[in-house]
């Protein structure tokens, strides 16, 4: 992953439209996905540890299919343990 200069996140996908994208098994740990549209995206087995999903359009079912969520900021702003 590439570090985003001046940011704690590895990749910035803030506000990205990823609707219906195949992100299965994607390495998205510490990615900034805030306000991203992940509607109908496949997050099966994705690594979302420490990712910022604040304000993202994503369902609980999609998130339940991810492999890792520890430390991720969820769409409602809470941090997953």
| 4 neighbors 25 (Cβ within 8 angstroms) | no
DSSP 11: E
Residues near 50 by beta carbon (within 8 Å), at least 6 away in sequence: 29, 30, 70, 71, 72
Give the count of alpha carbons within 13 A of 25, CB side only. Answer: 0
pLDDT for the residue 9? 62
Residue pLDDT, tens place only, 26-74: 999 999 999 999 999 999 999 999 999 999 999 999 999 999 999 999 9
What pTM was computed for the model? 0.87
């Amino acid at each position: 992953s590439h570090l985003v200069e001046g940011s704690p996140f590895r990749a910035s996908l803030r506000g990205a439209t990823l609707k219906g994208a195949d992100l299965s098994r994607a390495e998205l740990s510490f990615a900034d996905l805030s306000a991203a549209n992940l509607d109908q995206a496949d997050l099966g087995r994705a690594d979302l540890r420490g990712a910022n999903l604040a304000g993202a359009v994503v369902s609980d079912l999609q998130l339940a299919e991810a492999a890792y969520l520890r430390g991720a900021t969820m769409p409602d702003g809470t941090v997953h343990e």
